[in-house]
Amino acid sequence: MGLCHGKEINSTPIQEENSVVPYNERSIQNAETPKLQKLPFYISSPFQISYKNSPSTPLRIFKRPFPPPSPAKHIKAFLARRHASLKPNEDTIPEDDLLLSKNFGFLKDFFAKHDLGDVVGRGHFGYTCSAMVKKGELKGQEVAVKVIPKGKLTTTIAIEDVAREVKILRSLTRHKNLVQFYDAYEDEDNVYIVMELCRGGELLERILSRGGKYSEQDAKFIMVQILSAVAFFHLQGVVHRDLKPENFLFVSKDEKSVIKTIDFGLSDFVNPDERLNDIVGSAYYVAPEVLHRSYGTEADIWSIGVIAYILLCGSRPFWSRTESGIFRAVLKAKPSFEEDPWPSLSPEAIDFIKK
């Protein structure tokens, strides 16, 4: 259920820049995958299937004004099933409500324990608010509450996604670089997922505020925290499947603030010998193995490499104006390490990304 946790809503208008870095298509070096002759999703952006008025694809270089967020989703057929969507001009026909149980077994007394505050973020399935805890161990503490209207859970898949997200959050506790989960509540209308509130903003915002580049030392400070979190939930048998700068929040505005991994709405449990095959995630960060429908935790490792590339040079390694073009670039392209600032960076930094 891709949704932010304590992210501030940004009303900056989106504008196209005149200068676009040309894209050069070459073969991938940092992942060996079998050659794919024809992919079923090489069509116009599958994001358009379920969402009208989708924002334009961001440019390759990270500059202000802020680019639109990378949409996270099940791509094409999975996306359509998730939202129970039909043809663009037809009404959605939900599954028989008599067959869909929306009782998750969560606590029922949310409003007895919390005062709901302002909306601080929005997503496809709901929104996130700040809230003040009135009772219990967290009394007097401000928290983030992810509110998911049950009316939007019109498919079995959507209902299973909510249950799985809460199950994963319950299993991933007490790591300093993961957003802390407190509890889940429900009433007749909504599900309420109560979590730690992070006020420091997204990693994406920090990248943009720096003009798109981090020094190696500052990038290392970020990457060590990301790797620590990912190693932890991989050991718990969880693959995130949507790692990107938008899904890392800083606890505070301080430059050396702790960073937290958020949004496990597309995550899943995976065994060491198991291969997942559903195509999910955000286009710029999706791994070739995901596009080939055979992957495990290595899907997250690829995304980490993309984030590291962006931190150090301020541009995306794989870019196109359409999602299908991005997928082709991921499968065929070799990221450039020839242009500035790469010649001035250490061999170790470049080697880290290539591996």
- Domain chopping of the chain, boundaries: 58-73+199-354, 110-196
More confident residue, 71 or 349: 349
Alpha helices (H) along 21-100: 47-50, 77-82
Q: Is the pLDDT of residue 179 over 90?
A: yes
pLDDT, tens only, 99-114: 789 999 999 999 999 9
When the pLDDT of each residue in the chain is averaged and rounded to a whole number, the result is 80
Going by the DSSP 8-state scheme, the letter that residue 315 receives in this structure is B
pLDDT at 124: 76
- 292 with 33: CB under 8 angstroms? yes
Using left for φ > 0, alpha for ψ between -120 and 50, and beta otherwise, residue 4 falls in beta
Enumerate the known binding-site residues.
146
Q: Kindly report the CATH number that applies to the domain delimited by 110-196.
A: 3.30.200.20
- Above 50 in pLDDT, residue 180? yes
pLDDT in tens, 304-334: 999 999 999 999 999 888 999 999 999 986 8
Of residues 98 and 115, the one with the higher pLDDT is 115
Pure H helices in 172-256: 203-209, 216-235
Q: Which residues are annotated as a binding site for ATP?
A: 146
In whole angstroms, what separates CA 89 from the centre of its chain?
A: 29
Provide the pLDDT confidence category of residue 355 given band limits of 50, 70 and 90.
confident
Evaluate the omega torsion of the peptide bond into residue 71 and state whether it is cis, within 30 degrees of 0.
Answer: no
CA distance 121 to 103: 25
Which whole-number Å values give the CA distances from 134 to 96, 142, 202, in the listed order?
38, 10, 28
Residue 62 pLDDT > 50: yes
Q: Check residue 336 and give its pLDDT.
A: 85
Do 278 and 74 meet the contact criterion of CB atoms below 8 Å apart? yes
Q: Count of CB atoms within 10 A of residue 242's CB?
A: 25
Catalytic residues, which ones?
Answer: 242
Segments of the chain assigned E as strands:
72-74, 114-122, 127-133, 142-149, 181-186, 190-196, 238-239, 248-250, 259-261, 268-269, 280-282
Q: From CA 281, how far away is CA 73, in angstroms rounded? A: 5
pLDDT of residue 42: 30
Closest CA to 57 of 325, 329, 332: 325
Q: Are 131 and 116 in contact (CB under 8 A)?
A: yes
Q: How many CA atoms lie within 13 A of 125 on its CB side?
A: 32
Give the pLDDT score at 70: 54
Looking at the predicted structure, is the pLDDT value of residue 165 above 90? yes
b/e per residue, 252-282, with b = 16+ CB within 10 A? eeeeebebbbbbbbbbbebeeeeebebbbbb
Does domain 58-73+199-354 sit in CATH 3.30.2020.10? no
